Structure 1
Amino acid sequence: MGNFSKFGFILATLGSSIGLGHIWRFPYMAGVSGGGAFVVLYLFLTLTIGISMLLSDMIIGNRGKKDMVSCYEALDPTPSKPWRISGICLVGGPIILSFYAVVLGWILYYLFVVSFDLPQSLEYSQSQFGDLLNHSVYWQILGFSLCLFSTAWIVCKGIKDGIEKLNFVLMPLLFVIFIGLLIYAMFMPSFGRAFEFMFVFHPEKITTKVLVDSLGQVFFSLSLGVGTIITYAASTSPKENLLKSALWVVIPGILISLVAGLIIFSLIFEYGGQPQEGAGLVFVSLPLIFGKMGLAGNVIALLFFCALIFAGITSTVSLLEPFVLYLINRFKFTRLKATFWVSFVVYALGLCVIASVNGATAGAFTFGSKSFFDWADTLTSSAIMPLGGLFSIVFIGWFLGKEKVAGFTEHFLGNKTFEVWFFILRYICPLVILVILLSPLFKDFFGE
């Protein structure tokens, strides 16, 4: 299946984690979850349990050298191989991709249409987004199709010629665009207010809901629980320094999140917006702010939506690859055939997602109080991803045995570092995941 170079593995894993979760989800979650309280919790949790879980997935892939299910089977010493049940979490990638590619299609629309017709009023900005969802279904299908086709084409090219080359090009471009936007934001009078909002810690704003939101963001932003990290790590050298690789993934990801927040909140505060505007921040609030900036707003809008596309497409590839590799290894599919069939299923699900947000068809795709889009999001973020993470940490922390895991990590973890990591993995990480899994059962306690 080909192998990553050392730098290629870091870029590919970084590309899988840096997507809409860092640039779209992180700022709006910080906005509605207490600003600095959310950010500080997120930073602490990412640098402790986040790295611990990421390292666990990397070890499974690095030692198993196959697809996610085969990695568990290869490392499981029991004859019945019960840990193959972890393969159920592979469905999370295609399900996430079905709505992720739809949102990327919206961003394509904003890049090529709205960037040249920026709104001058809140009503017009809201109507632009509403028209896209309710009346421009063909634009939605076109954007979704282009994103999914591009993803499938890259995956068909394989590890070296597809995924690695994509990340070698897009990840540096993403950082260049964001550095430029950050420099622009730093010269705005509102930059200090944005900095204060994000980094001044107010302990009284920490609630159980903020804690759960922070935990969920860690999971979402590191691509944990759907086989991506295991799959990518299977293409690394047995002597890879996985701790160094994990740090190279986590720290730039954190930086992108913080930079995105500083840019967006500087713009929001500069032009009288509110940080608590939620998920509509990118599709309603920011276009209106860009529109108030004149010609500079058109340029910044183009750069910003380009950055979102670059970040998103590297993530969509990582959502498709794990199931494709599973079909190749287990059923001897060619890469082309495997990519086609997984993409076909994703395309069908994506059309259901689009129908569920369109006013004319939403009723037929609403179950209970949630749309098909909402169910896909809830199923993956609240169940499949935490469950996949739980499989990984219980397998490494409790099932394989401490001595065997120590042997896997002796070339990159010292004794003291190993003891700290193994304690966090065994005792802290399972509690964190149980909080995420059980939080929907206690809505009144955790808050909406």
Structure 2
Amino acid sequence: MKRESFGSRLGFILVSAGCAIGIGNVWKFPYICGAYGGAAFILIYLCFLVILGIPVLVAEFAVGRGSHTSVAKCFDKLAPAGSCWKPLKFIGIIGCYMLMMFYTTVGGWMIYYCVKSLRGDFVGATPEAVTQSFSDMLGNAPTMMLWMVIICLIGFAVCFMGLQNGIEKISKVMMSALLIIMVILAVHSVMMEGAGEGISFYLIPDFQKIKEAGVGNVVFAALSQSFFTLSIGIGAMLIFGSYLDKSRSLTGEAVSITVLDTFVALTAGFIIIPACFSYGIQPDAGPSLIFITLPNIFAKMSGGALWGSLFFLFLTFAAVSTIIAVFENLIVFNMELFGWNRKKSVVVCAVLVVILSIPCVLGFNVLSGFQPFGDGSNIMDLEDFIVSNNLLPLGSLGYLLFCTRKNGWGWDNFIAEVNAGTGMKFPKCLKNYVAYGIPAIIIVIYLKGYYDKFAGLGTAALAGWMIVALVLLGFVFYCATAKKKVK
């Protein structure tokens, strides 16, 4: 079966950026920026994005283009005989399925709120009514189920049409519309009365605020966000590298995608933070910022129905672009592992993803009694923890070790693949940094993530969870070092 390829470089950049650009860019970045000092936080974040995010993204693209397969087969094709790298593929396979088990639910919320905004549901609504509206949605399993299924059908319908005719073509239109809508919203937001204070907060570094929030907390938050923003670690980006030819070097492509991803995150801040200051609301409200705080702002705003609709349409595009990209991974897994054609794989995956997404939907209502991390937690928190705190960092660590170790793909093969073609070259002098420095940073992020998550549960519980973390970490290093007899 001939492997598909992108019709243009722009198509690759927009599709890959669409995978990286997700709800986290709009949901998480503005509120952690608000919580950790605005512009001062952004400066630290951008530094970490360059020294951490881009090299890991380059490694993932290189493994994809070098193998011309998805994560389901890349280690099988590139790993030398007698090595034990192949089990690492399950991090990517499980990670992509697990991500879609809760991301489709949140994507459904975006479409639902876009429709509610178009209907004018929030116009003139009281803060209590806006808050109650979100609670009512979470408690209504049929409504949540409907919108989850709708976004799944949209995503799989695009993938059904193939790479060039479906994913690339639709992503070009959707990403272009997303960027245009963002710029319009940002211009409107910064023109609001009283927005100047928010703009100052966002653009003028105030290092005193870093001190108030705690230097260590701010640095770690910036470090973590720079790592997770690009969706690296579970092979979601790897597959798009597998569709590339060798006409362009991979470092320049990774930089272009990172710049686009960062532009969206920063522009989201220009939309949200000045609007919050304009209406006297703190921009560190956490995840409720999107579904409670902002609808309250739109309710008070002149033309709020229009601006709210555009905002949630933009959010919907961000969610759908990621969903389409990860769905493509799931579809290709089946095509490579079982030899299925695209149509059969799409149908099977669509049914499977809908079924697997049901627990997350029910976790807010029917199964709300299941609270895996204590009061207030739910099934989505568990699924997000497995992906964000485990599979993303462990998968990224695996790619870096695989690309730099002699018993893996190896540094020479990695550099040859990355620097093939015209464009920006990856510096060969960074070998030790990529082989040892970045893995060390990832291990710190991974273990501190566990510590922060479970430190409040007591010493015994924390010790138990840290053992779990070390066992999973040990699995990656076992795959990177173990040998088996070659028959």
TM-score range, shorter chain: over 0.9
Contact 1:18 1:315 in 2 (8 A): yes
Tell me whether 1:147 sits opposite 2:151 in the alignment. Answer: yes
TM-score, normalised via structure 2 length: 0.86
For residues 64-79 of structure 1, what are the structure 2 equivalents within 5 Å?
64-77=67-80, 79=81
Q: Structure 1 residue 81: deviation in Å?
A: 4.7
| Alignment partners' CA distance in 1, 2:47 and 2:206 | 13
The partner residue of 1:197 within 196, 201, 206 is 201
Partner of residue 228, structure 2:
220
Equivalent residues of 2:97, 2:353 under 8 A apart: yes
Q: Indicate if the aligned counterparts of 2:249 and 2:423 stay in contact, CA closer than 8 A.
A: no
- Separation of aligned partners in 2, 1:426 and 1:325: 30
2:446 pairs with 431, 437, 443, which one?
437
Distance, in Å, in 1 between the alignment partners of 2:423 and 2:252 is: 13
Alignment map for 1:252-271 (pairs within 5 Å): 252-271=260-279
Pairwise CA distance, 1:293: 0.8
Q: Share of identical aligned residues, percent?
A: 27
The answer to whether structure 1 residue 355 and structure 2 residue 371 are counterparts is no
SS in 2 for 1:188: coil
Partner of 2:395: 388
What's the counterpart of residue 103 of structure 1? 106
The size of the alignment, in residue pairs, is: 443
- 1:42-61 aligned at under 5 Å gives the runs 42-61=45-64
CA distance in 1, matches of 2:220, 2:172: 34
Take 1:414 and 1:242, find their aligned partners in 2: how far apart are those partners? 8
Render the CA deviation track for 1:108-159: whole Å, top value 9, x for unaligned: 121112451115322111111111111x322211111100111111122221
Q: Which residue is equivalent to 1:185?
A: 189
Cα distance between partner residues in 1 of 2:432 and 2:23: 32
State the Cα distance separating 1:421 from its structure 2 match: 4.1
In 2, distance between residues paired with 1:80 and 1:175? 48
Which amino acid counterpart does residue 54 of structure 1 have in structure 2?
L
Residues 31, 278 of structure 1: 8 Å contact kept? no
Amino acid at match of 1:319: V
Compare the two structures and name the one with the higher helix fraction: 1
The CA distance in 1 between the partners of 2:101 and 2:436, in whole Å, is: 34
Alignment partner for residue 435 of structure 2, among 426, 436, 443? 426
* Change beyond 3 A, Cα 1:88–1:108: same
Q: Which runs of 4+ in 1 moved over 6 A?
A: 413-416, 444-448
- Equivalents in 2 of 1:190, 1:262: separation in Å? 14
Aligned-partner Cα distance in 1 for 2:160–2:134: 33
- 1: CA distance, partners of 2:178 / 2:235: 24
**Residues 117-126 or 92-101, more deviating:** 117-126
- Partners of 1:93 and 1:389 in 2: how far apart? 14
Q: Give the aligned partner of residue 373 of structure 1.
A: 380
Q: Scaled by the length of structure 1, what TM-score is found?
A: 0.93
- Tell me by how many angstroms 1:38 deviates: 2.9
Give 2:353's aligned residue: 346
**SS of aligned partner of 1:366:** coil
Aligned to 2:248: 240
Q: Is the 8 A contact 1:42 1:215 kept in 2?
A: yes
1:175 match: 179
The one-letter amino acid of 2:368's match is: A
Cα distance change on mapping 1:415 and 1:62 into 2, 3 Å: closer
Gaps of 5+ in 1: none
Unaligned runs of 5+ in 2: 458-487
Aligned to 2:470: none
**In 1, Cα distance between the equivalents of 2:255 and 2:38?**
25
Are 2:252 and 2:423, in contact at CA under 8 Å, matched by a contact in 1? no
The alignment yields a C-alpha RMSD, in angstroms, of 2.3
Query: In structure 1, what is the Cα distance between the partners aligned to 2:253 and 2:444?
Result: 28
> Do the aligned partners of 1:209 and 1:446 also contact (CA within 8 Å) in 2?
no
Distance in 1 between the 2:301 and 2:231 partners? 35
Residue by residue over 1:174-229, the C-alpha shift from the partner in whole angstroms, topping out at 9 and shown as x without a partner, is 11111111221232244332232223141424533333332332233211011111
Partner of 1:80: 82
Residue 195 of structure 1 aligns with an amino acid whose one-letter code is I
The one-letter code matched in structure 2 to 1:104 is G
Aligned partner letter, 1:84: K
Letter in 2 for 1:138: P
Q: Which amino acid aligns with 2:217?
A: K
Cross-structure match for 2:327 = 320
Which has the higher mean CA deviation after the structures are superposed, 138-147 or 413-422?
413-422
Q: Which residue in the other structure is 1:407 paired with? A: 416
When structure 1 is superposed on structure 2, of 326-335 and 255-264 the one drifting more is: 326-335
Q: Distance in 2 between matches of 1:209 and 1:354?
A: 32
Contact 2:418 2:425 (C-alpha < 8 Å) held by counterparts: no
**How far apart are the structure 1 equivalents of 2:250 and 2:239?**
14
